[in-house]
């Protein structure tokens, strides 16, 4: 994979709260700044084999891609891979209890093509920044609930 970015944050809420909210793809537009919309391609709730279409804006481009859930360990790990989209991508969420709340990890790795391949270092920096902000936004959304 040409781009591999991982961030983590301590989210001051119980693991069950964080994992159930963040692990529901339908909530993604509420806490991901770049996600514009989500459309379930299979019936919710999330399960191995679930397919979800995301529409996003990233680096000035509009992207549409479909993820398939390939691994689900409720309350511990969720892995989704693109089944359809501009380039192969895998997103992994991890959750573990920690003093003061839940340690959540967010990892995106992929193999961009064309211009994306040339811009991979810029893309990685932009992804790191966006993902860090997304975890902060997740904390804010949970505070509002």
Residue 122 has pLDDT above 90, yes or no: no
pLDDT band at 1 (very low <50, low <70, confident <90, very high): very low
pLDDT band at 12 (very low <50, low <70, confident <90, very high): very high
Pick the more confident residue, 124 or 139: 139
Pick the more confident residue, 144 or 117: 144
Q: With a threshold of 0.85, does the pTM exceed it?
A: yes
Q: Which long-range contacts (CB under 8 A, 24 or more apart) does 86-89 make?
A: 86/112, 86/113, 86/116, 87/111, 87/112, 87/113, 87/116, 88/1, 89/65
Domains of the chain (ranges; CATH) run 3-144 (3.30.530.20)
Q: What is the pLDDT of residue 141?
A: 97
Output the CA angle 80-89-122, nearest 5 degrees. 135
Residue 54 has pLDDT above 50, yes or no: yes
Averaged pLDDT of the chain: 91
pLDDT band at 115 (very low <50, low <70, confident <90, very high): very low
Average pLDDT over residues 3-31: 97
Residue 101 has pLDDT above 90, yes or no: yes
Residue 116 has pLDDT above 80, yes or no: no
Q: Which of 57, 52, 142 is nearest to 104 (CA)?
A: 142
pLDDT band at 114 (very low <50, low <70, confident <90, very high): low
């Amino acid at each position: 994979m040409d781009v591999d970015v991982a961030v983590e944050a301590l989210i001051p809420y119980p693991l069950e709260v964080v994992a159930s909210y963040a692990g529901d793809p339908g909530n993604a537009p509420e806490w991901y700044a770049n996600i514009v919309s989500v459309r379930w391609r299979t019936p919710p709730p999330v399960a191995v084999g679930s397919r979800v279409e995301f529409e996003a804006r990233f680096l000035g481009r509009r992207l549409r891609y479909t993820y398939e859930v390939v691994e689900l360990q409720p309350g511990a790990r969720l892995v989704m891979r693109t089944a359809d989209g501009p380039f192969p991508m895998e997103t992994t969420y991890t959750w573990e209890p920690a003093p003061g709340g839940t340690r959540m990890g967010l990892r995106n790795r992929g193999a961009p093509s064309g211009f994306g391949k040339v811009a991979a270092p810029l893309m990685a920096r932009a992804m790191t920044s966006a993902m860090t902000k997304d975890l902060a936004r997740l904390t804010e959304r949970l505070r509002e609930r």
